[in-house]
A and B are shown apart, each in its own frame.
Chain A
Amino acid sequence: MANPSAVCNGHLHHHHHQKQNNLLKSGVCKKNGITKGMKKNGVSNGTLYKKTFIEHFEQAPMYVAVLTFVGFGVGTIFGYLRDFMRAWGLEKRNIAEEREQQKDFVPLYQDFENFYTRNLYMRIRDNWNRPICSVPGPQFDLMERVTDDYNWTFRFTGRTIKNVINMGSYNYLGFAETEPNALKTVTKELQKYGTGICSTRQEMGTLDKHVELEKLVAKFLGVDDAMVFGMGFATNSMNIPALVGKGCLILSDELNHTSLVLGARLSGATIRIFKHNNMQSLEKLLRDAIIYGQPRSRRAWRKIIILVEGIYSMEGSIVRLPEIVSLKKKYKAYLYLDEAHSIGAVGATGRGVVEYFGMSPDDVDVLMGTFTKSFGAAGGYIAGKKDLVDFLRTHSHSAVYATSMCPPVAEQIIRAMKCLMGLDGTTQGLQRVRQLGKNTRYFRRRLHEMGFIIYGNDDSPVVPLLLYMPGKIGAFARRMLEKNIGVVVVGFPATPITESRARFCVSAAHTREMLDTVLNALDELGDFLQLKYSRYSKSSHPELYEETRFELED
């Protein structure tokens, strides 16, 4: 069914198809080895996208932006007032500050970040770092905590809030579960190997479990070889320095995750940023890099690598992989794809954005991902050609110095992956992926109908709902908790200062009733807090049409 919301924000993404047609055709004829790609695409007119790629980034009405600034202005003025009172001793100081002898030195806590933390973040701090005391499944238990001095200190009352609906955990396929049946093999491995490894991969930390897991990951993704690491963040930040160095060029997306940014900065290569998911910007940077070379010597760059993510976790947008691959082939660059949120969550069988766009994993040079999100475990992997993985085994900091993944966690990933691939004899894996797809589309459709502004692609399970005003961040999170729903709200500095949002992560373990509870709560709260800014809501009585719409969608 054609989605009329594609016309919403005036960005008809179909336009890009025609432009890239010529690019692909011209690129194809010149090089060999690409004919394989052409055959795999199979579509005779050469369109890059097999299904419609619809993303929404609607802008709020002007008065919302003005009121947001007014809100921040009031907060800032009162921030200065409180700082003044603290400096002149009219108020007790609860925060870190310099010692008396250091008052004449360069000030440590006067920059905007510290000002913001002291005066704005502290006031609504009770919405973050909430301790949970159960498995983060579709429902979880929270420890209740109260504050007596406006969020400077907390104390636990001892009560737990039970069965809070979990809309914040990255539990896309629902593998964070405690059912004994499901965890049989994990318990067995725990009893066989214990929990600690007490060594790094290079010394005595490579177990048969790691070898089994790596072979399974390579088979799952359809590549030659893979390597697993103990921590997802460390996978990015420790392996990018091993792959690039001085004299190389990194082209990184505007909204890349901190781990990618840290890895890029640690490597010492030159970093250039292109606008988020904007192929014209990327192509311009590539052309400039090839035409002008390195800054002073004008030599060619040793390597040009493009860093992108599969799904961007703050926007919910999916990378334009076909266009990037055609660009990389034309300009001879390398591609590093971070599938932290997209592995397991998109694609017909859960194999990530490569499968979602119907492309071959040979097109991407370095496939990276994490096991934290869809597999209910911890750790990351890098997969690709055998030469690449062999190189990383000896040269990566993480492989040489960091402790390897512990065996029960590796077994959890093995069982989750086997379930996804169908190797355990059931179709449970495929059912989970389909359920996630259904839940995602239902949730997004209902939110669009209600009139909220939602960012991102229609197929991504990460759903950011825009709140804009700083006062509403705290109000939204607290009221949702009163209704027994746990949400994650995000503000500056993780997002631009005017675009604070609430981010929902849909899971395959959410039942239709849970989603309906959440949607009804959102409807009520949207009216009460006036969050329905969208100018393009579809209908005011969606429940009348829901049944028939459903038949058509399936």
Chain B
Amino acid sequence: MDIKHVKDYIYWLYYQYLLITCSYVLEPWEQSMFHTITVTVFAMVVYTAYVFVPIHVRLAFEFFSQIFGGQPDSTVSIVN
């Protein structure tokens, strides 16, 4: 029963996607083409986010912390 619920929900989500992007009106081969392109673009976006976003966030954090809290760091090193 639960599986059916989940399956229905997934089908409903898929149907919403079809309606929103107007691929509901396309013929089957056009739909396959559209799905391939969409999934490819989406996969590329996810991959790029996974690879690059943490690095950029870390660099940005270091940059801003250098501006605001940079002075104590340098004095410590001079004393040393």
A residues contacting B by CB (< 8 A) are 67, 70-72, 74-75, 78, 81, 120, 123-124, 150, 469-472, 474-475, 528-530
User: Quick one: CB contact mask for B9-47 with A, threshold 8 Å, 1 for yes?
Assistant: 000100110111111111100100010000000000000
Q: Which of B15, B25, B30 has the most CB of A within 10 A?
A: B25
Which residues of the partner chain B approach A75 to less than 8 Å between Cβ atoms? 22, 25
The answer on a CB contact under 8 Å between A528 and B25 is no
Complex: chain A residue closest to B20, CB-CB? A67
Main secondary structure of the interface of A (DSSP, over half): helix
Docked CA distance A423–B27 (Å): 58
Docked CA distance A472–B17 (Å): 11
A-B pairs with beta carbons under 8 Å apart, 15 shown: A67-B20, A70-B21, A71-B22, A74-B22, A78-B26, A81-B30, A120-B25, A469-B20, A469-B22, A470-B22, A471-B19, A471-B24, A472-B19, A474-B24, A529-B19
Docked CA distance A470–B24 (Å): 9
B residues contacting A by CB (< 8 A) are 12, 15-16, 18-27, 30, 34
The answer on a CB contact under 8 Å between B20 and A78 is no
The answer on a CB contact under 8 Å between A471 and B20 is yes
Docked CA distance A72–B20 (Å): 10
Given contacts A123-B26, A474-B24, 7 further A-B contacts (CB under 8 A): A81-B30, A469-B20, A471-B19, A471-B23, A471-B24, A474-B25, A475-B19
The answer on a CB contact under 8 Å between A124 and B25 is yes
Which residues of the partner chain A approach B21 to less than 8 Å between Cβ atoms? 70-71, 74, 471
Docked CA distance A472–B16 (Å): 9
Given A74-B34, A528-B12, decide whether A471 and B18 contact each other with a Cβ distance below 8 A. yes
Complex: chain B residue closest to A527, CB-CB? B12
Which residues of the partner chain B approach A150 to less than 8 Å between Cβ atoms? 27
Docked CA distance A70–B22 (Å): 8
Which residues of the partner chain A approach B34 to less than 8 Å between Cβ atoms? 74, 78
Docked CA distance A529–B13 (Å): 10
The answer on a CB contact under 8 Å between B20 and A71 is yes
Docked CA distance A67–B16 (Å): 12
Which residues of the partner chain A approach B12 to less than 8 Å between Cβ atoms? 528
Complex: chain A residue closest to B24, CB-CB? A471
Which residues of the partner chain B approach A74 to less than 8 Å between Cβ atoms? 21-23, 34
The listed residue (B15, B25, B30) touching A470 by CB distance below 8 A is B25
Which residues of the partner chain A approach B20 to less than 8 Å between Cβ atoms? 67, 70-71, 469, 471
Which residues of the partner chain A approach B18 to less than 8 Å between Cβ atoms? 471
Distance to closest chain A CB from B40 (angstroms) = 15
Docked CA distance A543–B23 (Å): 37
Distance to closest chain B CB from A42 (angstroms) = 53
Distance to closest chain B CB from A317 (angstroms) = 28
Q: Which of A70, A72, A74, A470 has the most CB of B within 10 A?
A: A74
Distance to closest chain A CB from B37 (angstroms) = 10
Docked CA distance A149–B34 (Å): 20
Given A470-B25, A471-B24, A474-B24, decide whether A78 and B30 contact each other with a Cβ distance below 8 A. yes
Which residues of the partner chain B approach A70 to less than 8 Å between Cβ atoms? 20-22
Which residues of the partner chain A approach B25 to less than 8 Å between Cβ atoms? 75, 120, 123-124, 470-471, 474
Complex: chain A residue closest to B23, CB-CB? A74
Distance to closest chain A CB from B47 (angstroms) = 23
Which residues of the partner chain B approach A474 to less than 8 Å between Cβ atoms? 24-25
Complex: chain A residue closest to B28, CB-CB? A150
The listed residue (A72, A81, A529, A530) touching B22 by CB distance below 8 A is A72
Distance to closest chain A CB from B14 (angstroms) = 13
Docked CA distance A71–B30 (Å): 14
Docked CA distance A124–B24 (Å): 10
Complex: chain B residue closest to A122, CB-CB? B25
Docked CA distance A197–B8 (Å): 61
Docked CA distance A282–B22 (Å): 39
Distance to closest chain B CB from A130 (angstroms) = 18
